[in-house]
Amino acid sequence: MTDQPTPDLRSRLQGLWLPLVTPFRNGELDEPSLRRLVRHYARGPIDGLILGATSGEGMSLGAHELERLVALTHEEISGSGRSLPICLGLSGASTSKLLDVLDETAVWPIDGYLIASPYYTRPSQRGLVQHFKALADHASWPIVLYNIPYRTAVNLTNETLLQLAEHRNIVGIKDCSSDRAQSIDFLRRRPAGFRVLTGEDAQYHDALGDGANGGILLSAHLETEAFASVHKLIKQGDRDGAQACWESVSELTRLLFAEPSPAPAKYWLARHGLIDSAEVRLPMVEVSEELAALLDADIARRRPPLLRRA
Annotated binding-site residue numbers for pyruvate: 55, 216
Annotated binding site: 55, 216
Q: Per the residue annotation, which of 41, 113, 146, 204 is the catalytic one?
A: 146
Q: Name the maximum alpha-carbon separation found in the chain.
A: 53
**83: exposed, middle or buried (Cβ count in 10 Å: 0-12, 13-18, 19+):** exposed
The answer to whether residue 146 is catalytic is yes
Please state the separation of Cα 266 from the chain's center in Å: 15
Buried b (16+ CB within 10 A) or exposed e, 252-285: bbebbbebebbbbbbbbbbbbebbbebbbeeeee
Q: Per the residue annotation, which of 41, 113, 174, 266 is the catalytic one?
A: 174
The answer to whether residue 235 is catalytic is no
CB atoms within 10 A of CB 146: 26
Cα dihedral 24, 27, 32, 37 in deg (nearest 10)? 10
User: What's the CA gap between 275 and 98, in Å, rounded?
Assistant: 31
User: What's the CA gap between 107 and 92, in Å, rounded?
Assistant: 20
Please state the separation of Cα 213 from the chain's center in Å: 14
**63: exposed, middle or buried (Cβ count in 10 Å: 0-12, 13-18, 19+):** exposed
Q: Catalytic residue positions? A: 146, 174
